[in-house]
Amino acid sequence: MKILVTGATGLVGSALVPFLAGGGHEVSRLGRAAAGAGDIRWDPDAGVLDAAALEGFEGVIHLAGENVASGRWTEARKRRIKESRVNGTRLLAETLAGLERPPRVLVSASAVGFYGDRGEDELTEGSPAGAGFLSDVCREWEAATEAAEGKGIRVAHARLGVVLARDGGALAKMLTPFRLGAGGIIGNGRQYMSWITLDDTVAAIGHLLATEAASGPVNVVAPAAVTNREFTKTLGRVLRRPTLFPMPGFAARLAFGEMADALLLASTRVKPAGLLDSGYAFRHGTLGEGLRHVLG
């Protein structure tokens, strides 16, 4: 299969490209700079994308977007987070819809932030959107694929949870304090965290690409969401370190501002109903198993 990937240098994309290539697919990257033969350049900020260069791809995986956790959420930063997702997705979807030979499938990233802070409620793809900045971004992000869907392209919205990887993402930032014995729960520790290993993330995206029945929102998370307290204790056990230093909610807000409520203190208990119903078999179904794999 001839596949185009955006966001190929990010945490998920950098693992996904070799995964797909290893499966015998022909993979090209769509980015701001062409990294190799067959790669294509675009400038989503300027609305620049050469439609002719996209002819002939059978599948497209769209992962590009500003990192939501790389700095405090100023108004300018929030605008950048939103525009990088919504405008880039709309440009890509409209360009694909205008092709003479459009791809059969578009797997477009989204996030479980769609559901917002929902306490202990178990959430599936049929659950309504929540409230707040991330929920608003995810709603518009997913809606930006409308042109591709209207053209008859099968569109799957991969609502990603917290991706666990040793060398990037949230887990990588936690490792140093936890290894020093300075890790602990955040807030009251009762907020749910919907996680997934990097290996399962790329395999699940590959599954969505190949599964004709997969369309609309699909939760890309492990089957067993855990509370922050459970996550903290499990990571401490895997690293063989104590977890005695909690971060109260007020301290998280002082350090991270609005981002703390959305990413650290919000409770999102998500079930991967779509993946399970479509026959996906998880490599790492429990947190302990997943962390031991990721951390070697």
CB half-sphere exposure, 139, CA atoms < 13 A: 12
Q: Are 158 and 112 in contact (CB under 8 A)?
A: no
Mean pLDDT in residue range 238-263: 92
C-alpha 199/C-alpha 235 separation (Å) is 18
Report pLDDT digits (tens) over 179-224.
Answer: 999 999 999 999 999 999 999 999 999 999 999 999 999 999 999 9
The per-residue pLDDT for range 85-107, each reduced to its tens digit, is 999 999 999 999 999 999 999 99
Residue 178 and residue 244: Cα distance in Å, rounded?
Answer: 10
pLDDT score recorded for residue 71 = 82
Chain-centre distance for alpha carbon 113: 10
147's CB contacts (< 8 A; 6+ apart) are: 90, 93, 94, 96, 97
pLDDT at 34 over 80: no
Between 77 and 71, name the one with better pLDDT.
77
How many of the other CB atoms lie within 10 Å of CB of 241?
Answer: 16
Which residues on neighbouring strands pair with residue 28, listed in sequence order?
A: 4
Contacts of residue 127, defined as CB under 8 A and 6 or more positions apart, other chains included, come to: 115, 118, 121
124-167 tens-digit pLDDT? 999 999 999 999 999 999 999 999 999 999 999 999 999 999 99
Name the CATH architecture for the domain at 2-295.
3-Layer(aba) Sandwich (3.40)
Binning pLDDT at 50, 70 and 90, where does residue 70 land? Answer: confident
pLDDT digits (tens, 9 = 90+) for 41-61: 999 999 999 999 999 999 999
Tell me the three state secondary structure of residue 62. strand
